A and B are shown apart, each in its own frame.
Chain A
Amino acid sequence: MSENVDSSTAPRRIGKPASRLSALFESKQLGWGAFAIALIFPFILASNYAMNIATTAVIFVLLASGLNIVVGYCGLLDLGYIAFMAVGAYTAGIVSKAWELPVLFTVPAVLVMTVLAGLIIGAPTLRLRSDYLAIVTLGFGEIIRLTANNLTITGGPSGIYGIPGIHLFGLDLSNPVPFYYFCVVFVSLLVLGSARLGKSRLGRAWRFVREDEDAAEAMGIHTYKVKLAAYIFGAIWGGLGGMLFAAHLSAISPQSFVFLQSALVLMAVVLGGMGNTRGVVVGAVVISLLPEFLRDMGNLRYVIFGVVLILVMVLRPQGFWPARAFEPEKGDDGSDSGEDGTKRSRRDRRKLVPVNPATGEKA
Chain B
Amino acid sequence: MSMLEFEDVEVFYGKIQALRGISVRVEEGEIVALLGNNGAGKTTTLSAASALVKAHSGRISFAGTDITRAKPWEVVGAGLIHVPEGRRIFSTLSVMENLQLGGYMVKDKAAIAKRLKDVFDLLPLLAQRRTQQGGTLSGGEQQMLAIGRALIAGPKMLMLDEPSMGLAPLIVAQVMEVIKEVNANGTTVLLVEQNARAALKITSRGYVIENGVTTMTGTGAELLADSRIVEAYLGA
Contacts and interface: CB of A to CB of B under 8 A. Distances in A.
Q: Do chains A and B touch in the complex (CB under 8 A)?
A: yes
A341 B91 contact: no
B61 interface: no
Contacts of A337: 53-54
Given A338-B11, A338-B13, A348 B52 contact: no
Given A336-B71, A352-B91, A352-B135, A341 B86 contact: no
Interface in B28-84: 38-39, 43-44, 51-54, 71-72, 84
Contacts of B52: 336
Contacts of A345: 38-39, 43, 85
A100 interface: no
Given A336-B71, A348-B86, A341 B44 contact: yes
Contact of B13 (A336, A339, A349, A352): A339
B39 A339 contact: no
Interface in A302-340: 336-340
Given A345-B39, A345-B85, A348-B85, A338 B91 contact: no
B54 A336 contact: yes
11 contacts: A336-B53, A337-B53, A337-B54, A338-B53, A342-B18, A342-B39, A345-B38, A348-B86, A349-B85, A352-B91, A352-B135
Nearest to B53: A338
Interface in A333-363: 336-342, 345, 348-349, 352
B233 interface: no
Contacts of B44: 341
Chain B facing A: main interface SS: loop
Which of A341, A345, A349: most chain B Cβ within 10 A? Answer: A341
A202 to B, nearest CB: 31
A341 B13 contact: yes
Contacts of B16: 340-342
A33 to B, nearest CB: 39
Given A336-B54, A341-B18, A352-B91, 7 more contacts: A337-B53, A340-B13, A340-B14, A341-B43, A341-B44, A341-B53, A342-B18
Interface of A: 336-342, 345, 348-349, 352
Which of A337, A338, A342, A349: most chain B Cβ within 10 A? Answer: A338
B13 A342 contact: yes
B54 A338 contact: yes
A349 B11 CA distance: 21
Contacts of B53: 336-339, 341
Nearest to B88: A348
Interface residues of B, number: 22
A348 to B, nearest CB: 5
A340 B85 CA distance: 16
A341 B38 CA distance: 11
A338 B71 contact: no
A192 to B, nearest CB: 38
B51 A336 contact: yes
Contacts of A340: 13-14, 16
Given A352-B91, A352-B135, A338 B39 contact: no
B86 A349 contact: yes
A267 to B, nearest CB: 32
A3 to B, nearest CB: 37
A-B pairs, top 5 by smallest CB distance, nearest first, are A341-B13, A341-B18, A338-B53, A340-B13, A348-B86
B55 to A, nearest CB: 10
B14 A338 contact: yes
A165 B53 CA distance: 64
Interface in B110-149: 135
Contact of B72 (A336, A338, A349, A352): A336
B12 A338 contact: yes
Contacts of B12: 338
Nearest to A340: B13
Which of B13, B14, B91, B165: most chain A Cβ within 10 A? Answer: B13
Nearest to B55: A338
Nearest to A345: B43
Contacts of A342: 13, 16, 18, 39
A212 B72 CA distance: 30
A330 to B, nearest CB: 9
A187 B86 CA distance: 56
A153 B10 CA distance: 70
A145 B165 CA distance: 57
A304 B86 CA distance: 48
Contacts of A349: 85-86, 165
